[in-house]
Structure 1
Amino acid sequence: MIGDVVNISVKQFTRTKKKVLDENGEKVEIDAIVSDSPRNVLLAMKSDNKLNDFLRHNEFTGEHEIVADVKLDAISMRKGQLPSAFESYLSVYLENHFKVVFKTRALQDGIEAFFAEKTYNPVQEYMEHAYDSWDHKERLNQVFQTWLGAEDSIYVQKIAEMFFVGAVSKVFNPWVKFDYTLDLVGGQGAGKTTFLQKIAVDWYTDSAKDFMDKDNYEIMLKSLIVNDDEMVASRKTTFDELKAFVTKTDLTFRRSYGRRAEKFPKNFVIARTSNKVEYLGDKTGERRFLPVLVDAAKQFVKPFDMTDNDVLQLWGEAVAIYKKGFTLTFDEDFEDELAVYKERFTYRDEAENQIYDYLDMLVPEEWDSMSVVQQHQYTWAYFNNGVYRNDAGFIYEGVKPQESVSSKQILKNVFDIDVAKGDKLARKIKLIMDNNQDWEYRQKRVNGKMTRGYFRKNIQ
């Protein structure tokens, strides 16, 4: 037996008079429970002590669950996700014990009404427990240094705080906008994946292999931390698609066995791992990715040895920071500093290296008055470790940084290409310069003439 009928009086059911055949085959009128009433299904489920106690709706995953092993007559159901055949099991059980065959729509609506009243959020409960258990010792500012051997810098400290508090924010307000991913790079064998599994407790996945495939959405929505291990999903996604996905606040799709497409809050944060250090390639939107360089040789403790209490204390501190009020964006000044920090993680091809070398090149005092040919010849000599002499034999020496450059100059001086023939390279130069923190595009008077181009920021 699944359990005794308790709490709900039989009189509370919506009833009707119904004619049935008795044992002698004669028609008799009986008092029967209405079979097309969702309310009756709801009352029947609430009246049973085991159904009422062990069936819950998980608000975090959006799924109906069994919170302990339970038996419906001869049918055993194990703790976990509600089986797809639950509706059939329940229909037979209710017929056995309430002598009524509920109509399908009434059964479905009654079940949904029951679970709507029986919600819980295990991740919120865990976070509140972590908050109550926190010993008030600060650990977040050293979490990556301790467990992953990261450098001890303000950048790593702030990235840790942003990621952990961002995750807590998603727990208490799943619709909140959080625009960052944590990228753990380098440090092969340091336990990057193990670290993420440990801190995610029971709400981790690395099974989502494509951010655009809606079949993966259900997997992700059951997790607090979605790990794109070795950036497999990122590689299958265009950079624009990846940026858009990171900043989404909701996901719209039809769940398995769902009747229609629904909008769900994106209730998780994204982490990515890679053994490759120079992994950032695009010059736009890189602010969304927060890299931390991992070094197994500098670990104080390996993630494998992380205890449940170690994890609990980290989340307790993060919840405390969240409850005090926390902004889920870095300020503009720190974003600029972070951009410089990220340069070590940015991949540069040969052409890009040449452009950066050109920007670092010291030029003669006479640079602005030199002809196009002379500037190109000087640059050529610089890149080939030579010296540049004019026709009179005068040696031009580099004594000052360039104050301004243009795409046209870079095309000619570095690549010996005229602007009319270098459209593709010109676009690359523009992209690099537009995203270079040390230069800005503006108009300025040079040698009595108004000139548009890129000007070094720290030179007036």
Structure 2
Amino acid sequence: MEKLQLQHDGAITIAVGQNRKETQWKNRGFSWTGFLSRISKVHRTSETFLEYKTLPKRKRDEIKDVGGFVGGTIQTGRRKAENVRWRSIITLDADYANHVPSLKVLHYAAALYTTHSHHPDKPRFRIVIPLQRPVTPEEYPVVARRIAADIDIEWFDDTTFEPHRMMYWPSASEDGEYTFMYQDCEWMNPDEILAEYQDWKDAAQWPVSSREMKSIKRKAKKQGDPLQKSGIIGAFCRTYTVSEVIDKFLPEIYEKVNEERYTYQSGSTTGGLVIYDDTFAYSHHATDPISGKLVNAFDLVRLHLYFELDVDAEPDTPVSKLPSYKAMQELAAGDDQVKETLGIEQIGLAKEDFEDTQWIKELERHPKSGILLVTFRNFELILENDPTLKNAFAYDEFNHRPFVRKILPWKAKEGPFDNMDDAALRGHIENKYGIRHKERLTDALMMVSRRHAFHPIKDYLETLKWDGIPRLESIFIEYLGVEDHVHTRKLTIKALVAAIKRIYEPGAKFDEMIVFKGKQGRGKSMMIARLSKGWYTDSLDSLNGKEAYESLQGSWLVELAELSAIKRAADIEQVKKFLSKTMDRYRPPYARMIEEYPRQCIFFGSTNTHEFLSDRTGNRRFWPFRCEDEPKRRWHQLTDDEIDQVWAEALVYYHEGFATHLDPEVDADTLAWLENEQHEHTEENSLSGMIEEFLEKPLPLDWNQRDISSRRAFLNEDFGSSAIEVLPRKKVCVMEVWTELLGRDPSLIDKRFSREVGSIIENLPGWKRSKRLSFKHYGQQRAFVRQKENSS
């Protein structure tokens, strides 16, 4: 479309948002020309018009939501009636027109564009009219209704007159028709429109469509008779008519005009609140908090007294979850007349078996009806004192969940509190006490359980008493045939004392793990499982996210069986990071918030493969234990009494302050042994031996004068090169390995090879990475140098 040239241009201010759920609407200035240019362009969506029309409303709303605007200025960012300050344009949505009209029916500047639901056979369009001056929210619906009436008010949606109504930017299906037109005339003077009324402030004079009364009746039918509602809303509405709540709770807000109309005193119009059967109220006042809403007596009071409590609520928050709703419940419940209504209507008390006990007297009851209230405190008292439920629930601090500690009518033995217990407990309380509320009961159960918290492993450990016979350091030597020497004994003590430490000090640092290497059938996994006393898992199939963290809960000894979890890790750094974590942070199923779980477990690995490590630089966390000697006894011969004594001894070590970390000074010999063992169990790169031999081969004195072919010949010992006087190599670059050792074309070297060779050289004894140095034939290259000086 060509650039618009208008004779009648000017400035407008509108509020724009990214979508219908926007909570921070931003006021933006446009020229009328710029605004017309914006709406002249349509956003095409991928579906066909026929597909769009067959979609459910929710999906259609998502498709056509390409952002939108409110034709004026909004305060505080929220698109609410009370936050609209001015309107600078009129926007009218025509949902019931039988054709798209010419704008010539209007005698002032205007634009028209079709909406997403438009079809030639069923037109849908929007008319936009700029104003010579901004109008107030009170003036806006009066002016908008008059303009709509001049065209045909039956064409227009009844909500289009609301000052805070959002309009979508233009969009259409991929094959949908889009029409845009404008009229370049003088802008409309709102004062001339207002002057057409005898008294524009009298809501009774405003034009309305024939649908509005029908719409109100439909809304009333949909809401249902408030007098028939249960609970506090019904009680409130049966206690007070709409006119009575105005007299009692809102006398400063509305002024009575007649039996059916009231005036909102903070507005500038009169008689805009209409009363229907003294049961519902509907407000036409633009700045009234209930503007455009059909409300019963309860909501009329709620939305006036407490609407400010909902300012920070999410747009889709259910009414029953809004702060204003809860505040209104408290007001209604505390009102003496409402209490009286509830007392009369209450058909009886819940059956009481122990009315003479103090806790029964402490139960919170409705002061008039005597029925038990659905409160947290009541659930708490019942769980603590009911003869069936008393002392039944505790909190397992190891498994992080409630636990049933006695036989219940629906549970034949102790065990974790599960879904069946949850349902049965709710049923028990509802049947006996007549109250039910899942969330409050859950909260009360958690509080009561926490008061009776226990730790099953601590409880187990504190029953143990060591008999003084050392077993701890040799347990794996005895039953798995681990090599018997001082280092394996020391590391065994450290690992099992670390298991104790993490029970008494959850999250204590211990990021190492023993890895048992031995033939299948040795009983490595069974040994760990028996030692765990049942707090064991080998189901850690992933190191990622919540699934991995959940697998750790309830486990004391965690086995990475055949190192499956490690082998599936994309990066050894991920494995090291996982083992190094002292706390897992995630949201458990059905929990409301993310929680932190300091680790109470230690890790073991098991493998049948000799070279089970793949990274020479990331192995300090892995303590290889070779299970190659013939064990003195088999794992199945390990008795519970012996296991108890192993842990009793470990507990003594812990209380004596035994260090679970390896100190570089104190444990230097063990660290050196570990480094050698880790190297022994690390996968060898096929290039490693070749490169090491290449680096150790002495070079002739004229090496720098030789061309590449001569160097290759020397390295291959062609032409009797072995008789030449030589010196040890002092430096090397990756390009020399590629070109001279492997005989490859220098131009074909790639980064992956460079990284691989660099890692190999850097980990060879006696070599270290250096700065860039100059190399004959290769120029400046990243260099590796021999660490010790060699004589020439």
Q: CA deviation at 1:401?
A: 6.8
Answering whether residue 616 of structure 2 is matched by residue 283 of structure 1, we say yes
Matched with 1:167 is: 499
Aligned partners of 1:187, 1:224: CA distance in 2, in Å? 25
Aligned partners of 1:372, 1:174: CA distance in 2, in Å? 64
Matched with 2:267 is: none
SS at match of 1:352: helix
Q: Which runs of 5+ in 2 are unaligned?
A: 1-352, 775-781
Matched with 2:515 is: 183
Matched with 1:18 is: 368
**Partner of residue 117 from structure 1, selected from 446, 451, 465:** 451
Q: CA deviation at 1:339?
A: 1.8
Aligned partners of 1:193, 1:335: CA distance in 2, in Å? 26
Aligned partners of 1:285, 1:49: CA distance in 2, in Å? 58
Q: Pairwise mapping of residues 341-380 of structure 1 onto structure 2 (< 5 A)?
A: 341-359=677-695, 361=696, 363=698, 371=706, 376-380=712-716
Q: Pairwise mapping of residues 97-136 of structure 1 onto structure 2 (< 5 A)?
A: 97=432, 99-130=433-464, 133-136=465-468
Matched with 2:359 is: 9
Matched with 1:42 is: 380
**Partner of residue 417 from structure 2, selected from 59, 66, 82:** 82
Deviations 1:40-82 (A, max 9, x none): 21121111355333321100110111234x223xx23532221
Matched with 2:582 is: 249
Q: CA deviation at 1:194?
A: 0.8
Q: Which amino acid letter does the alignment assign opposite residue 9 of structure 1?
A: W
Q: CA deviation at 1:142?
A: 2.1
Asked if 1 retains the 8 angstrom alpha-carbon contact of 2:354 and 2:360, the reply is no
Aligned partners of 2:656, 2:789: CA distance in 1, in Å? 38
Aligned partners of 1:113, 1:429: CA distance in 2, in Å? 60
Aligned partners of 2:645, 2:725: CA distance in 1, in Å? 60
Q: CA deviation at 1:156?
A: 2.1
Aligned partners of 2:707, 2:647: CA distance in 1, in Å? 61
SS at match of 1:227: strand
SS at match of 1:53: coil
Indicate how the Cα distance of structure 1 residues 401 and 205 shifts in structure 2: closer, same or farther if over 3 A, else same. Answer: farther
Indicate how the Cα distance of structure 1 residues 220 and 275 shifts in structure 2: closer, same or farther if over 3 A, else same. Answer: same
Asked if 1 retains the 8 angstrom alpha-carbon contact of 2:624 and 2:674, the reply is no
Indicate how the Cα distance of structure 1 residues 232 and 341 shifts in structure 2: closer, same or farther if over 3 A, else same. Answer: closer
Matched with 2:743 is: 416
Q: How many residues align?
A: 425
Deviations 1:367-393 (A, max 9, x none): 987857566444434xxxxx8734xxx
**Partner of residue 229 from structure 1, selected from 561, 577, 585:** 561
Aligned partners of 1:457, 1:325: CA distance in 2, in Å? 42
Aligned partners of 2:356, 2:561: CA distance in 1, in Å? 50
- Compare CA radii of gyration and give the structure with the larger one: 2
SS at match of 2:462: helix
Indicate how the Cα distance of structure 1 residues 349 and 452 shifts in structure 2: closer, same or farther if over 3 A, else same. Answer: closer
Matched with 2:606 is: 273
- What do you get for the CA RMSD once the two structures are aligned? 3.4
SS at match of 2:647: helix
Q: Which amino acid letter does the alignment assign opposite residue 463 of structure 2?
A: H
Aligned partners of 1:366, 1:153: CA distance in 2, in Å? 49
Q: CA deviation at 1:245?
A: 1.3
| Higher helix proportion | 1
Aligned partners of 1:315, 1:39: CA distance in 2, in Å? 42
Asked if 1 retains the 8 angstrom alpha-carbon contact of 2:374 and 2:435, the reply is no
Deviations 1:117-173 (A, max 9, x none): 12100112223334xx11233333322221111212343233322321222222112
- Higher RCO by CA contacts (8 Å cutoff, separation 6 or greater): 1
Asked if 2 retains the 8 angstrom alpha-carbon contact of 1:175 and 1:250, the reply is yes
Matched with 2:161 is: none
Q: CA deviation at 1:199?
A: 1.0
Asked if 1 retains the 8 angstrom alpha-carbon contact of 2:731 and 2:785, the reply is yes
Aligned partners of 2:475, 2:785: CA distance in 1, in Å? 40
SS at match of 1:52: coil
**TM-score normalised by length of structure 2:** 0.49
Asked if 1 retains the 8 angstrom alpha-carbon contact of 2:515 and 2:624, the reply is yes
Matched with 2:40 is: none
Asked if 1 retains the 8 angstrom alpha-carbon contact of 2:738 and 2:744, the reply is yes
Aligned partners of 2:785, 2:449: CA distance in 1, in Å? 61
User: Identical aligned pairs, as a percentage?
Assistant: 22
Aligned partners of 1:66, 1:181: CA distance in 2, in Å? 34
Q: CA deviation at 1:259?
A: 2.8
Indicate how the Cα distance of structure 1 residues 409 and 144 shifts in structure 2: closer, same or farther if over 3 A, else same. Answer: farther
Indicate how the Cα distance of structure 1 residues 101 and 213 shifts in structure 2: closer, same or farther if over 3 A, else same. Answer: same
Matched with 2:631 is: 299
Q: Which amino acid letter does the alignment assign opposite residue 276 of structure 1?
A: T
Between 1:167-176 and 1:369-378, the stretch displaced more is 369-378
**TM-score normalised by length of structure 1:** 0.81
Q: CA deviation at 1:304?
A: 1.4
Aligned partners of 1:306, 1:228: CA distance in 2, in Å? 22
Q: CA deviation at 1:364?
A: 6.6
Q: CA deviation at 1:305?
A: 0.9
Indicate how the Cα distance of structure 1 residues 338 and 216 shifts in structure 2: closer, same or farther if over 3 A, else same. Answer: closer
Aligned partners of 1:88, 1:51: CA distance in 2, in Å? 14
Asked if 1 retains the 8 angstrom alpha-carbon contact of 2:542 and 2:565, the reply is yes
Q: Which amino acid letter does the alignment assign opposite residue 350 of structure 1?
A: S
Answering whether residue 404 of structure 2 is matched by residue 71 of structure 1, we say no
Asked if 2 retains the 8 angstrom alpha-carbon contact of 1:5 and 1:49, the reply is no
Q: CA deviation at 1:221?
A: 0.9
SS at match of 1:234: helix
Answering whether residue 675 of structure 2 is matched by residue 339 of structure 1, we say yes
Asked if 1 retains the 8 angstrom alpha-carbon contact of 2:480 and 2:523, the reply is yes
SS at match of 1:9: helix
Q: Which runs of 5+ in 1 are unaligned?
A: 20-29, 382-386
Between 1:79-88 and 1:5-14, the stretch displaced more is 5-14
Indicate how the Cα distance of structure 1 residues 11 and 288 shifts in structure 2: closer, same or farther if over 3 A, else same. Answer: same
Aligned partners of 2:355, 2:691: CA distance in 1, in Å? 79
Asked if 2 retains the 8 angstrom alpha-carbon contact of 1:64 and 1:82, the reply is yes
Aligned partners of 2:425, 2:475: CA distance in 1, in Å? 48
Aligned partners of 2:356, 2:641: CA distance in 1, in Å? 40
Q: CA deviation at 1:89?
A: 1.9
Aligned partners of 1:397, 1:191: CA distance in 2, in Å? 58
Q: Which amino acid letter does the alignment assign opposite residue 151 of structure 1?
A: E
Aligned partners of 1:61, 1:186: CA distance in 2, in Å? 32
Aligned partners of 1:146, 1:5: CA distance in 2, in Å? 64
Q: Which amino acid letter does the alignment assign opposite residue 265 of structure 1?
A: P
SS at match of 1:40: helix
Asked if 2 retains the 8 angstrom alpha-carbon contact of 1:141 and 1:161, the reply is yes
SS at match of 2:367: strand
Q: Which amino acid letter does the alignment assign opposite residue 353 of structure 1?
A: G
SS at match of 2:516: strand
